[in-house]
Amino acid sequence: MGKAVDPVCGMEVDTERTPYRSVYKGSVYYFCSQHCKKAFEKDPGFYLKHGPAGMPHG
């Protein structure tokens, strides 16, 4: 059992159930949809640096 935050949209994802996952620099990231997975894989550094869109961060 586990929860992770989709680094693209900020949604909480069930790590056991989502088929959308990606390994980047030795860490596993989970996504709510194929769309988010594709977006992350296109530019992982951007999402890791800026965080999920729409989430407050400073």
Q: How many residues bind Zn ion (CB under 5 A)?
A: 6
| Among residues 32, 39, 40, 47, the one that binds Zn ion under rule CB under 5 A | 32
- Minimum CB distance to Zn ion, residue 8 (Å): 5
The number of residues making up the chain comes to 58
Give the pairing type, strands 3-5 and 12-14: antiparallel
Instruction: Please return the burial class of 26, using the count of CB atoms within 10 Å of its CB with bins 0-12, 13-18 and 19+.
Output: exposed
Closest CB to Zn ion among residues 9, 47: 9
Interacting residues toward Zn ion by CB under 5 A: 6, 8-9, 11, 32, 36
